[in-house]
Chain A
Amino acid sequence: MSVTPEHVDNSGSFYVDGDPIADAKAPDVPLSQTWDQRRFDAKLVNPANRRKRSVIIVGTGLAGGAAAATLGEAGYHVKNFCYQDSPRRAHSIAAQGGINAAKNYRNDGDSIHRLFYDTVKGGDYRSRESNVYRLAQTSVEIIDQCVAQGVPFAREYGGLLDNRSFGGVQVSRTFYARGQTGQQLLLGAYQALERQIAAGTVEMYTRHEMLDVIIVDGRARGIVVRDMVSGEIETHMADAVVLGTGGYGNVFFLSTNAMGCNVTASWRAHRKGAYFGNPCYTQIHPTCIPVSGDHQSKLTLMSESLRNDGRIWVPKDGDDKRDPRQIPEDERDYYLERRYPAFGNLVPRDVASRAAKQVCDEGRGVGPGGFGVYLDFADAIKRLGRKAVEAKYGNLFDMYAQITGENPYEVPMRIYPAVHYTMGGLWVDYDLQSSIPGLFVIGEANFSDHGANRLGASALMQGLADGYFVLPPMISNYLADAPFEAADENHPEAVAVSQQVQERVSTLLSINGSRTVDSFHRELGHIMWEYCGMERTKEGLTKAIGLIRELREEFWRDVKVTGVNEELNQTLEKAGRVADFIELGELMCIDALHREESCGGHFRAEHQTEDGEALRDDENFAYVAAWEFGGDGGQPILHKEDLVYTEIEMKQRSYK
């Protein structure tokens, strides 16, 4: 080992230590019985009383949409919000690969325990055992539910469901619908939701963006939203609030997230007292289409399966600007095959991504700006024939050609890593309740079940597990204690929050500075990508925190937001989101700086093995970092939730 892992608290100037926390909800029984026991212990709400209990759900993706449909069906009075023009557009729709389930339809030795084990190991031992076990248990029900809704999963000639192996696991447990699994699952949830809207159990508010949460008597009781068409600031009250608002990958400006994905709902809740768990855990996907210029607005993912047959290389000499086809074999560096002879081009996502960044940092990157490496199919085409390659990857090649205008059958593809998932999120207990009573967080928005790294085909599983099966009984348990203190939109707390929101909007509109919102967002993205991206260092993170603080100051002094509030104003929408991203970016850097180890998607250059592998420090860092908001100008407060492994032994991974 090149560097001795040693816990030195040298970032103390950025945060203060708080009391440790623990999940108090998972019953103390053997892991396989925890969920049954919890459900049995949970209080129920009489069907006749349900319509008197109201729930606000923000977000209509796999988690939010499924939860709204299920709670509406159960008879609760649900209000559901989304910023898009229809609940069907939530970004879950863009997930390509598939959804895991421990069905063992292939009789290949899969089981709930194995899915649980793979997920904990894949998360690099930074997830909570009880939650992950429940996820694996629930996975089985999800597939049944989706098939019953008419989700057209891929099938075999016998009419039964097809499975494939995904993300380097040894069993075939991934269910898929061509390359559009997320779309089909989301449409299933969306249709179930629309059925409830028609039945009158769910009130749908599209083009409404949540701007704050209202807390009355210590409980989350409502939200303040902006009607994005009329600009009206509205207050909605309920007995509980659920956030299913997705991840925060857009803090990097460029990511595979949708343009509108944002952290505002989560961040506003964080500022009101919800702890933010592990914000620095982000996943970077190695096979995305590279940036083509400054105009780039988002990145597009291509399936990782391309690495099965494509060979990744860069020129040995950084000044070699020849057409890649003209570069002879011995002047190419197949760096993954060279450095990881056993796994070659199939090393895990984080290893492949970091290696690509390293060769580009050495000045050997290819394509515009030097941010790209070749993914070459020339050998595969020679070996398998063009037809076979076309059959396997045709749609991906078409997509690549569509975006780049290059023909990947002739010229090597160019790829570069991009952010596409955030494992961190609001901290929740076993009941998916945040540190604010009555505020539940589901799907990618919570700090989730994925630890420091998410396995392929697990995001869809988690979103639907939370939405269909985990949240409903747990929120019923909470609502069984209602009615709470009467609170309508005229409650002093609600009025105060609504006023704060209006003031913030007015401030944004009145600055009238000289820089556009996008220019701030782009700059924040550069800082985050450079210093809090694939590889992080103490120096870099410290520098980034300074840069972000300056950027934040400049933003509130010099941003230019045109138009007025009382209309569709997309600049105003973006401004509010970017303001929150800036604050989140700082916390991410502080979290990354404090975590003096490398694990999963978090790689600290100071903590690596001689081979350049991530080096965990289980003795000092086997905990969830749950951050409490320390006030504007104050320092965030770190609460540690120790991770205790009873079923699984912690191991170091190696891909040599």
Chain B
Amino acid sequence: MAISGLVLVGYLVAHMYGNLKVFAGQEAFDEYAHHLRELGEPMLPYEGALWLIRIVLLAAIGVHIFSAVTLWRRSRAATGGKGSQRYASSKAPRGSQRSYASFTMRWGGVVIILFVIYHLMHFTWNTIAPGGASDSPYERVVNGFEIWWVVLSYTIALLAVGFHLRHGVWAALASLGANTSQRRRRNLNILATLVALVIMVGFLLPPFGIFFGLVG
């Protein structure tokens, strides 16, 4: 769970870097998208590196989902299927200290995977093209994010990602043994919040930039 999660976080950082190229204009962005496909040539065939990344990502997602389902099932089995709702008392709905983010992990994860499919249909497979299709990735992006409901859907998804990372990054690091003291626990939580914020804001900048006409 932790390792696959961190692989995905690493990917998100790279992906966010690429997205921010949209602010550098159409040429840079399209060149970047094209370059991704030529990465590693001639050692690797066309799109070779990309496929390697895709395989790693698919594996990470697979492992992540499998681990999540396993944990989820164990948790349900251990708590009669009710998790933190297993007490009749409704006086401590949020436990004594847990973060809101920790409540969102499982359903938030489902939202994210559904979003990823939608996102791939939009930008990778081109099965849907809100705002108009184009051969230029840059134009597809700009066309899409000029529509309010596309921006809204991406915003919702990224909020889910943000919460997921807020708890997930901390939990992954702690589960790998990084939590060594109460002070470290605080610091790791701060780090997780920062990572979540950076990635969330970093991904939201292009859609909002486009929507408010700052790009293109």
- Direct touching of A and B (C-beta under 8 Å): no
Chain A residues within 8 Å of B, Cβ to Cβ: none
B: residues with CB less than 8 A from A are: none
